[in-house]
Structure 1
Amino acid sequence: MSSSVPTPRVPDELRRRLGVPDAVMIGLGSMIGAGIFASLAPAARAAGSGLLIGLALAAVVAYCNATSSARLAARYPTSGGTYVYGRERLGEFWGYLAGWAFVVGKTASCAAMALTVGSYVWPGQAHAVAVAAVVALTAVNYAGVQKSALVTRLVVAVILAVLAAVVTASLTSGAVDAARLQVGSDATFAGVLQAAGLLFFAFAGYARVATLGEEVRDPARTIPRAIPIALGITLVVYAAVAVSVLLVLGPHGLAAAAAPLTDAARAAGAAWLVPVVRVGAAVAALGSLLALILGVSRTTLAMARDRHFPHALAAVHPRFKVPHRAELVVGAAVAAAAATVDVRGAIGFSSFGVLAYYAIANASAWTLTPAEGRPARIVPALGLAGCLVLAFALPVSSVVTGALVLAAGAVAYAVRRRLARR
């Protein structure tokens, strides 16, 4: 543990231009994205009629993570998120491991979002469309974070309008059956935990605000306000969508749905909504991809500053004031993954990495003193335990792959340290 003051400002700082509304929108753009269109069906397959319990568990863990992240971000308002918090509170290795988990996990998540765009826009050429989407959004981020915030605001408005239409059509249709919300014998403890882990994937965007700590105005106030607001709005939206879809499809119908929200629209007698939902899903995935690339590049910047990655990636563009080299490298890596990977494998791997990242965030928050703004001890304790439980409740293949990649990162760290001593 370290009681030192926050990390000193560095010469190549990013420009502080984002207020609370922009920060909330970036958080919403990260959370209310393709996850709600894609995660409900696999979560229903895992938990059956216990889906809403899984959603509640995911929300509790997300709230703990958000609270811990907000307090830490106010204390350390620089780019890097938990990479910085772990380094300052737990030691260099844990900061590095958090950064490694975030970068590799979210790179996989970027690829999954890009492929979601492709599958809705042009299913026969999903990989090609995915790569094109990555290139386009990397260019948007390269031009400056203010443009990213503007685009994100428009994307969130479209997504919320589509989701509101689905919820309204479902709740006002004759297909509603309240009995479908009752928890039955098909809901097992293990299944509910796995559903919570899958649904957590749809929540895990609130810390994107923390990774932008060097670009928000008055971060000590802006970040702790923006993260809970974004999380609260997201939880209300997700709960409304999950309840409405369950009422018209039921847990078994939802589990069997390839596109749950379009199936719900059809079951509700609103077939006209189907093409609207498809467009909304593509826009949602684009919004998530935009914010993901933004966050991964900022963590890459922070790690490059400390030479865990090549120091050339720490460069900040003199005109746009963005980490342009980091953004280009991240964009290239995501494009390569989007051209080759499988969506489900990418999502499982990403979930494991993100949960490991937040576990370190909660452990870091535990070390804060009351004078440093420490949350109630139950918050980081519950968040840490929840992250570990949900991570190991994921499918075995995701757990094994994720653990191997984290171990590879740890080995690389040890080798670099040994070479540095010579």
Structure 2
Amino acid sequence: MPESATQQKQQIFVREATGLVKNVSFLDTIALNLSNMSVGPLLTTIAGFAGATFVIAPSVSGLNLVVASAIAFLLSVPQIVIYTIMSRRYPRAGGDYVYVSRNFGGFWGSTLSFWGYTMETLAFIALVALLVDFSIGGAGLSLGGSFSTWGLLFTNGTTQFVVAASIFAILIGINIAKPKAGYRLVTAITLFGVFSLLLTMGVYLAAGQSGVANYINGFAQAVKLTGSDSSYQALAASYTPSGLPFDLNFNNMIFIMPVIFAFVYPWLNAAPAVASEIKGSRALRWNVPISAFTGFLLLTGAFAVLYGVAGMPFVNAVFSSKAYAGFGLNFFSLAMGIAGGGVVSWIIGLGWIAMQLGTMAYAVIIFSRYLLAQSMDRFLPSKLAYVSPRFGSPVVAHLVDLVITLALIGITAYFFENISGIFGAIIASMIYFVFIGLAATKHALQKEKGTTKVVLALAGIGNAIVFGFVSYQYLANPGFTGLNNVTYFYVIATFIAGALIYLGSRWYHKKRGIDISLNYKELPPE
């Protein structure tokens, strides 16, 4: 007697349903995407340490962050269109992995997703874990007094590892025991982070230029800075205008585009990756555009307030100053200093930490969904697809994430200078986004009709062009983008690993009468 279609499908996929529960509200989807967009981590890495964007940029002349943010947002519009449409066509755990693999087949789809998101995310989580450490230490130093000693503890590798590892383990534990609480935690942290960012802008607006100048002048005198770093006026005067209309040097703005893209605008895949858990069609339809526009307003607004109050000459000069970088001066710590301590400084400091923590908390959830989706297709070992009937969470996927990420956190905490190139693995994601665009175009031409067909096809082509150029920028400027031999080894090794895993899995299952390539011809279980 021949097998029914249901029996055949059950044999191909690990099981007929993921076992996940629809726990994700509309607000949760927005929070997930905003945490994914990492506005706080970008504001933290623009200035404040030796390797900060403005410190290592060849020139900050005419580098207007407001305009740069607006350009980056416009370049990300094709990505917004793609995720908005495709997450409704493929509402499954794993998001873009599902539609890339369904359009390019198992070998290329699985390899690219494993390489461009799964393995890159591990490196990114380790980086953000250390940014949580740095923000705790930086907030302590900015509060001054006895907190300065507390802040100095976070310059020690052991402290960095213990704190980051403990926080990460707690987040994993929460998501294993109560997935719904994991989502609500991301939402709560994100809302507090947004509130603190708005408060930070309010502090700048209330202080005005004189407030910024008074703080910088007092700080420079207290730590005995000289020359162009000696005062607000000296810093502003040291800035060299570009000489171009409106002092806009588009070459310099395009040059830092890889940094903005590494943190913010293209990262809209969080909610689509949990699409099968989202409650309601409105949330599925609108979460991406609302999140993208909100992230744009928050980041661009922060830059606009900073420039409007302190002036672009001062901001560009102080953020590119090695002396002030040595004291950890960035968007948040400057506002804490201007606020003068007390409750407001505390809230800004806690918000600074929360914005890094939110990024880590979202990544714990999303990474496990990619592992789950890839294992449901039998690309990865089927044990990773296990969802606890008691908790409704992918327990094994979370535990694998815990073990690997703790190892990466430990390595980066103790050997940061030697291993920091691993964070350049973000180039794999930029290349992966090229294929996301191409997959969207292929889908549009084969399966869509009318206006949607044209819009999605053009968005896909535009996306491929944008991220092809961004990928080129990464490769053309390795000193700025952080690419080195460690990066190249990690990127090449993870791509080869993805290809070998697929080929090995297909061979293994074929010997047992299962052709896993058939998985990629239909939607996976919900």
- Listed as ranges, the matches of 1:195-206 within 5 Å are 195-203=256-264, 204-206=266-268
Contact 1:169–1:270 (CA under 8 A) maintained in structure 2: no
Write the deviation string for residues 261-314 of structure 1: whole angstroms up to 9, x where unpaired: 234326756555544333222111111101011111110111122233222111
Counterpart among 408, 415, 419 of residue 337 in structure 1: 408
- Listed as ranges, the matches of 1:267-306 within 5 Å are 268=338, 270-272=340-342, 273-306=344-377
Letter in 2 for 1:184: S
Letter in 1 for 2:105: G
Letter in 2 for 1:389: F
Name the CA distance, whole Å, in 1 between partners of 2:339 and 2:297.
24
TM-score with structure 2 setting the length: 0.71
Q: Does 1:229 align with 2:290?
A: yes
1:364 is matched with 439
Write the deviation string for residues 194-235 of structure 1: whole angstroms up to 9, x where unpaired: 42211123315421001101211245x432311111111111
Q: Does 1:252 align with 2:266?
A: no
Question: Which is greater in Rg?
Answer: 2
Contact 2:129–2:409 (CA under 8 A) maintained in structure 1: yes
- Listed as ranges, the matches of 1:112-261 within 5 Å are 112-122=127-137, 123=154, 124=156, 125-175=159-209, 184=242, 191-203=252-264, 204-218=266-280, 221-247=282-308, 248=310, 249-256=314-321, 257=325, 258-261=328-331
Q: Does 1:39 align with 2:39?
A: no
SS of match in other structure, 1:90:
helix
1:4 is matched with none
Letter in 2 for 1:409: T
Name the CA distance, whole Å, in 1 between partners of 2:113 and 2:484.
16
Name the CA distance, whole Å, in 1 between partners of 2:425 and 2:113.
13
Q: Does 1:383 align with 2:463?
A: yes
Contact 1:206–1:227 (CA under 8 A) maintained in structure 2: yes
Q: Does 1:29 align with 2:114?
A: no
1:417–1:151 distance in 2 versus 1, CA, 3 Å: closer
Structure 1 position 382, deviation (Å) = 2.1
Which 5+ residue runs of structure 1 have no aligned equivalent?
1-6
1:134–1:413 distance in 2 versus 1, CA, 3 Å: closer
Contact 2:82–2:456 (CA under 8 A) maintained in structure 1: no
1:133–1:263 distance in 2 versus 1, CA, 3 Å: closer
Letter in 1 for 2:426: S
Counterpart among 484, 487, 493 of residue 408 in structure 1: 493
Contact 1:175–1:268 (CA under 8 A) maintained in structure 2: no
1:329–1:33 distance in 2 versus 1, CA, 3 Å: farther
Name the CA distance, whole Å, in 1 between partners of 2:336 and 2:389.
52
Name the CA distance, whole Å, in 2 between partners of 1:401 and 1:71.
37
Write the deviation string for residues 212-260 of structure 1: whole angstroms up to 9, x where unpaired: 01211245x4323111111111110001111223342421212334341
1:3 is matched with none
Percent identity over the alignment is 18
Structure 1 position 130, deviation (Å) = 0.7
Name the CA distance, whole Å, in 1 between partners of 2:98 and 2:209.
50
| Farther-moved stretch of structure 1 (163-172 vs 404-413) | 404-413
Letter in 1 for 2:242: G
SS of match in other structure, 1:18:
coil
Contact 2:81–2:456 (CA under 8 A) maintained in structure 1: no
The aligned length equals 414
2:225 is matched with none
SS of match in other structure, 2:130:
helix
Contact 2:336–2:349 (CA under 8 A) maintained in structure 1: no
Name the CA distance, whole Å, in 1 between partners of 2:135 and 2:356.
10
Write the deviation string for residues 167-201 of structure 1: whole angstroms up to 9, x where unpaired: 11212333279x99997359765542342211123
Contact 2:35–2:359 (CA under 8 A) maintained in structure 1: yes
| Farther-moved stretch of structure 1 (282-291 vs 245-254) | 245-254
Name the CA distance, whole Å, in 1 between partners of 2:96 and 2:372.
13
Which 5+ residue runs of structure 2 have no aligned equivalent?
1-11, 138-153, 213-235, 512-526
1:171–1:182 distance in 2 versus 1, CA, 3 Å: farther
What is the root-mean-square deviation of aligned Cα atoms in Å?
A: 3.1
Letter in 2 for 1:66: I
SS of match in other structure, 2:411:
coil
2:101 is matched with 87
Letter in 2 for 1:129: V
Contact 1:40–1:199 (CA under 8 A) maintained in structure 2: no
Name the CA distance, whole Å, in 2 between partners of 1:348 and 1:132.
21
Q: Does 1:15 align with 2:80?
A: no
Contact 1:81–1:207 (CA under 8 A) maintained in structure 2: yes
Name the CA distance, whole Å, in 2 between partners of 1:400 and 1:393.
17
Name the CA distance, whole Å, in 1 between partners of 2:241 and 2:464.
28
TM-score with structure 1 setting the length: 0.87
1:33–1:339 distance in 2 versus 1, CA, 3 Å: farther
Counterpart among 362, 380, 385 of residue 309 in structure 1: 380
Name the CA distance, whole Å, in 1 between partners of 2:484 and 2:278.
35
Letter in 2 for 1:264: L
Structure 1 position 132, deviation (Å) = 0.7
Structure 1 position 160, deviation (Å) = 1.5
Letter in 1 for 2:334: A
SS of match in other structure, 1:11:
coil
Name the CA distance, whole Å, in 1 between partners of 2:502 and 2:191.
47
Name the CA distance, whole Å, in 2 between partners of 1:401 and 1:365.
32
Letter in 1 for 2:134: S
